[in-house]
Amino acid sequence: MAVLHGWRAARVTPLGELHAPPRMTAVLVRLTVQVVLVASLWHGLYAHTSSSAGLDENQAVTYAVMAVLASRLRELDQFAGRDTVIQHMHYGTIVYWYLRPMPPQRYYALRALGEQLYGFAWALAGFLVCLAAGVVEPPRSAAVAGVFVLSLLLGQLVLHYIMLATDQWCFWALRNNAAILIIIFAQNLLSGVYAPLWFFPDWFVTMSAFMPFQATLNIPLSVYIGRIPLSEAAGQLAVQALWVVALGLFTRFLWRRAALRVVSQGG
């Protein structure tokens, strides 16, 4: 029974997307335009050079396009499902999360899992199309592909905990709109979505190394294109795992503190 309820919780947001064809069409058009523009931009930047910041043209284009595809893993219209933390805090219905048989942290995790699986389907389909069209390079070996998948999984766990902590901020501030905008910008900048981190100054790269954002995307994509060789991958995976553990413990602590702030009257 618990497994059945878990599956139902995980499919809430994906079902909302699947039952709204206009939103799916908009996602397809936007993703296609983003991939074409990003690939064109990086091809143009390499028009007069064969290598920059240690990357050749194919590596840079592959990195940039895959960064766009990876952004689909968590870009869903969560507000349409009316089940975000900020919406429940605004209407006072967050208390129901604590009255259900399922703990709120498990419910939140299952919702996030469903969203990630749905987003992964988009990202995988886009990757296969780009791979067939020659827009991105294939993995250099089966070992690289395996390490990349593991690193990507760890990166998504790190991102999950970052966004969870941002949502948990609502228990103290009631709203997290500004925090989400800041986190999204920081995530895109410091994880290498806008550009690989090696194109930034040394002080910027050093600063980003002390933050969790680079572990979400820069590490897995660096492994894929060969910027991080397999001989150094174990250390980078360890960094990602440490962030997963640290952020997991931190958000678990916040869940406990948040429960003390929720009051059920007459229940």
The confidence band for 79, taking pLDDT boundaries of 50, 70 and 90, is low
Helix pair 142-168, 218-225: axis angle to 10 deg: 170
Domain span at residue 100 reads 2-259
Q: How far apart are CA 15 and CA 10, in angstroms?
A: 9
pLDDT of residue 11: 75
pLDDT digits (tens, 9 = 90+) for 196-226: 888 888 899 899 989 999 999 999 999 999 9
User: Does 267 fall in a domain?
Assistant: no
DSSP class per residue in 56-114? EHHHHHHHHHHHHHHGGGS---GGGGT--HHHHHHHTTTHHHHHSSS-HHHHHHHHHHH
* pLDDT over 50 at 1, yes or no: no
Sign of CA dihedral 92, 98, 100, 105: positive
User: Does 265 fall in a domain?
Assistant: no
Question: CB-based contacts of 224: which residues, under 8 Å, 6+ apart?
Answer: 62, 63, 66, 139, 144, 148
User: Does 266 fall in a domain?
Assistant: no
pLDDT of residue 81: 59
223 or 23, which is more confident = 223
Three-state SS letters, 128-191: HHHHHHCCCCCCCCHHHHHHHHHHHHHHHHHHHHHHHHHHHCHHHHCCCHHHHHHHHHHHHHHC
Kindly report the pTM of this predicted structure.
0.88
User: Does 132 fall in a domain?
Assistant: yes
Map residue 195 onto helix, strand or coil: coil
177 or 210, which is more confident = 210
| Rounded average pLDDT over 117-122 | 87
pLDDT digits (tens, 9 = 90+) for 228-260: 999 999 999 999 999 999 999 999 999 988 888
* pLDDT over 70 at 88, yes or no: yes
Q: Indicate the DSSP class of residue 265.
A: S
State how many domains the chain has: 1
